[in-house]
Structure 1
Amino acid sequence: MLVVVTYDVNTATEAGAARLRRVAKLCERYGRRVQNSVFEVLLDAAQLTALKAQLTATIDAEHDSVRFYRLGNSYKERIDVLGCTARIEAGELLML
C-alpha cells in the first residue's frame, strides 16, 4: 500500500535538529522524499508497524508530530501532481 508520511519536528534546540535528521533518515529507508517533510512509501502492514515503532522511539511526542495517510493499493487514481515531479512515480518500474 502507498502511505504518505508527513512530519513536523521542533528544531528550536540542537536535540530537535538531531531528531529531525533521524526522522528523515528513517523515512528515506522506506520511501522517497516528495517534499521537505513529506515522503511516499510503499510498504505492507508489517513494514508500516515497524516504521511507526521506529518513529515513535525517535520523536519527542510533546513537541513533534508524524502523520500517516494510507492511500492503499489503488493509489494511482488518487494522486494529482501540479508542477515538477520526480522522473519515476512511486511503484513504477525503472527503465534504463
Structure 2
Amino acid sequence: MSEHETSPRTTGATVLTLVAVACAAGLADVLRRRRERKRGSGHVEEPPVHMPHGTPTIPRQRRNGSPAEAVRLTEAERDAFAGLVRRFGEYG
C-alpha cells in the first residue's frame, strides 16, 4: 500500500470516529436530560402537539424566564427604526 492511499484512509477513519463520538455525546445528553426531567421538578409536562394525521411534533416549550420586557420609544426612535426596517426590506 502506498503513502498516497494511507493518508486519505487515516483522515476518513479519524473523521468517522469524531462523528461517532459527537453522536454518542449528543445521545447521552438527550438521555440525561430526559432522565432529569422525569426525576422531577414537580412540573407536569404537557403532552406533545399532534399533527392532523396523528404524527407527534415538538412538545410545547415552557416559559421559565422572566416575562417579556417592553421599551417605550420616542417618536424619533420609532421613525429611525421604521427607516431601518424599510432599508433591510429592500435588500432581503
Q: TM-score, normalised by structure 1?
A: 0.23
Larger C-alpha radius of gyration, 1 or 2? 2
Q: Which has the higher strand share?
A: 1
Q: TM-score, normalised by structure 2?
A: 0.24
